[in-house]
C-alpha cells in the first residue's frame, strides 16, 4: 500500500545528495527564467504566452512545466518531496526531447552549425531525475529528516 512515508523514504546516501543538488542547481536558473525573467528569461506572463500562443501548449501543461522547473528545482535543492520534484523534471525533459530537440540530433549545438540544440543535455537530466525517483533525496534532505 502506498503511503506518505514510502514517498519520502530515503537513506543517508551521499550520491543521491550530489545528484539532487546537481539537478536542482542546474534546473533552478531555467525555472527562474520562466517565473521571474531572470537570466534573460521571459518571466511568467511571457513564458505562458510563448508556450500557449507560439508553441500551442495548453495552459494547464504550460503551468505544470513552470511549476516543475521552478518549484521542482527548489524541492530538489532542499530535498523536499524529491521523488515528486524529480518526476516533474523528468516529464519536462521527455517532452522537450520529443517536441523540440529530437529533430536536431543527439549533440548540442557546440559550434552553431546546426538548426537547434540536440537532446544530449535533456537525456542527462532525465537520467539524473530517474535515479532520484529511485533513490530519493539522500543525505541532508528534508525528506530524510521527515522520515526519521
Mean pLDDT of 26-54: 97
What's the domain range around 133?
9-147
Q: What is the H or E stretch that residue 4 is in?
A: helix 4-8
Count the domains in the chain.
1
Say if 117 falls within a structural domain.
yes
Say if 4 falls within a structural domain.
no
Say if 3 falls within a structural domain.
no
pLDDT interval class at 112 (50, 70, 90): confident
Say if 120 falls within a structural domain.
yes
What's the CA gap between 37 and 123, in Å, rounded? Answer: 25
Residue 40 has pLDDT above 90, yes or no: yes
Say if 91 falls within a structural domain.
yes
- Return the closest-CA partner of residue 138 out of 8, 10, 6: 10
pLDDT interval class at 73 (50, 70, 90): very high
pLDDT interval class at 148 (50, 70, 90): confident
Say if 36 falls within a structural domain.
yes
Per-residue pLDDT at 39: 97
Cβ–Cβ under 8 Å, residues 109 and 135: no
Say if 2 falls within a structural domain.
no
pLDDT interval class at 1 (50, 70, 90): low
pLDDT digits (tens, 9 = 90+) for 4-24: 888 899 999 999 999 999 999
C-alpha cell, 98: 520529443
Amino acid at each position: 500500500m502506498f503511503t506518505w512515508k514510502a514517498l519520502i523514504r530515503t537513506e543517508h546516501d551521499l550520491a543521491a545528495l550530489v545528484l539532487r543538488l546537481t539537478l536542482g542547481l542546474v534546473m533552478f536558473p531555467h525555472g527562474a527564467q520562466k517565473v521571474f525573467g531572470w537570466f534573460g528569461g521571459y518571466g511568467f506572463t511571457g513564458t505562458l504566452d510563448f508556450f500557449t500562443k507560439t508553441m500551442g501548449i495548453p495552459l494547464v501543461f504550460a503551468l505544470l512545466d513552470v511549476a516543475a522547473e521552478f518549484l521542482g528545482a527548489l524541492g530538489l535543492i532542499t530535498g523536499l518531496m524529491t521523488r515528486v520534484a524529480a518526476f516533474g523534471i523528468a516529464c519536462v525533459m521527455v517532452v522537450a526531447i520529443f517536441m523540440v530537440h529530437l529533430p536536431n540530433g543527439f549533440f548540442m549545438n557546440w559550434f552553431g552549425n546546426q538548426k537547434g540544440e540536440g537532446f544530449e543535455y535533456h537525456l542527462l537530466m532525465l537520467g539524473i531525475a530517474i535515479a532520484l525517483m529511485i533513490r530519493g533525496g539522500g543525505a541532508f534532505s528534508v525528506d530524510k529528516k521527515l522520515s526519521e
